[in-house]
Amino acid sequence: MAVSRLAFVGLGAMGHPIARNLAAKRPSDSETVVAVDSDPARLAGLDGPGLVATADRTAVDGAAVLFLCLPNGDVVEAALFGGDRLAERLAPGAIVVDLSTIAHAKALAIGRAVAATGRRFVDAPVSGAPAGAEAGTLTVMCGGDPESVAAVRPLLERIGTSVLHMGPAGSGQLTKTINNVLYDINIAALAEVLPMAVAMGLDPEQIAQVVTTGTSRSYAAQYFVPRILQGRFDEGYPMGAAYKDLVAAAAISAEGGYPMPVTAAATATYQTALRQGHGDRDKGAMVLPFEALLGVKVRSGG
């Protein structure tokens, strides 16, 4: 999509590198990426060719594309239709591309509200963690009408190596929920099984080697198990913030009548860790309640 100016709002751990890649891979000097955030600290280091960093929300005015990368659906809704009314500041017919992870139902509601302003909406949550955002190798899951998704695909290909159109508006968020829930189930399973293995006398380092190289291996195991062995629980997205994914899955299950017993069990493990005060830690900390229950530590060196 050839544009002279696109805006980016939300410069957290994922948004910061995504904004840089959008600017670094622009096809010509005539395009500008305007990165907007109310926190000046998150604007640091973003000035560069084709990239303008500012705390002034009016910089969004007239943009042809607005990217959002915000914590949750309520924040997205407030940014678009609250006091700043970003949706109405865009050029007529502009496209809002929401990279945030929000509930399926919220994405549908936001899409309808954006359409009512005469703009278009694509929900495009991403997967790949901050490392994928830095490298520009994210997986992007898009929901929206085919014309809008096709229009922003060249922009999304600057930040991801796999850009998938999953269906109408909301389909991207539905896909992201499924992806995240499967990830959470993997971690919840590790959290209960690893302490059991250690309690029964298996060596933590050897069982870790098996679950990260054998048939049970997964990205969750490969990322979290080495960190569990070192007692490091502060390198991933906080559980308290990520809990929204399981809330979204529960809503889909209840509203659609879809049985999800394994997801419900994983949610109980998640909730236990949150109730015990581990919400500021990453998902690997789900192992801590089971360690306490069994009186063991899944750590290198015993």
Among residues 25, 106, 176, 283, which one is catalytic? Answer: 176
> Could you write out the DSSP letters of every residue in 252-280?
HHHHHT---HHHHHHHHHHHHHHHTT-TT
Alpha helices in the chain (DSSP H): 15-24, 73-81, 86-89, 104-116, 129-135, 146-156, 171-199, 204-213, 219-229, 239-242, 244-256, 261-275, 287-294
Can you tell me whether residue 51 is helix, strand or coil?
A: strand
Q: Please tell me what DSSP assigns to residue 63.
A: -
Can you tell me whether residue 33 is helix, strand or coil?
A: strand
Is 283 one of the annotated active-site residues of the chain? Answer: no
Q: What phi, psi does 151 have (nearest 5°)?
A: -65, -40
Residue positions annotated with a catalytic role:
176
